[in-house]
Homo-oligomer: A and B are copies of this chain.
Amino acid sequence: MERENDLTHFNSDGRAHMVEVSEKEDTFRRAAARGSISMSTPTIELIKEGGVKKGDVLGVAQIAGILGAKQTSNIIPMCHQLMLTGVNLSFEILEDKILIESQVKMYGKTGVEMEALVAVSVAAMTIYDMCKAVDKSMVIGDIRLIYKTGGKSGTYIREGEGIEY
């Protein structure tokens, strides 16, 4: 059916609007997103040492990601204002990249997918910022939604991700 494919963020004039959701039911909603930032092995080593000796790059990225998630409705124009009930991030340091995962929770009327994506994206950019003096060639990538639960559209689980939720 054609309507199913519509981009819901446009009004009858073809201009963007913030979709009316007052009739949606309040449900418990969760979303997780993942992404990565690739970098040279020496930069990875600096971050690892930093966590111990010189400064905790990932600690700063974590806080930036949480603050970013709370700012989502100001950063992404058509996002609804939400009161998140929980935000967490975790990092895994591989040989040439850092994996980032966010988990966002809320009880309310719309999903928190964008909040999860913003948390990962801001965390990745913060890592870039803190390491760019030694490595400008880092690449942020693979930012994607891993799962979402709650709401009328139900649960989405991205294929091929090892997830626990």
- Residue ranges of A at the interface with B (Cβ–Cβ < 8 Å): 4-11, 13-22, 28, 35, 42, 46-47, 50, 53-60, 62-64, 66-68, 70-71, 73-91, 105-109, 113-114, 117-118, 121-122, 124-126, 128-134, 136-145, 148, 156, 158
Contact = CB atoms under 8 A, between A and B. Distances in A.
B114 A125 contact: yes
B144 A139 contact: yes
B55 A85 contact: no
A145 B46 CA distance: 21
B87 A50 contact: no
Contact of A16 (B53, B60, B131, B136): B60
The 6 A-B residue pairs whose C-beta atoms are closest, nearest first, are: A10-B55, A20-B86, A22-B85, A140-B143, A141-B141, A17-B88
Nearest to A87: B18
A50 B136 CA distance: 33
18 contacts: A6-B133, A7-B57, A10-B54, A11-B55, A15-B55, A15-B59, A16-B62, A16-B63, A18-B66, A18-B88, A22-B106, A59-B60, A70-B81, A75-B122, A76-B129, A114-B128, A114-B129, A118-B125
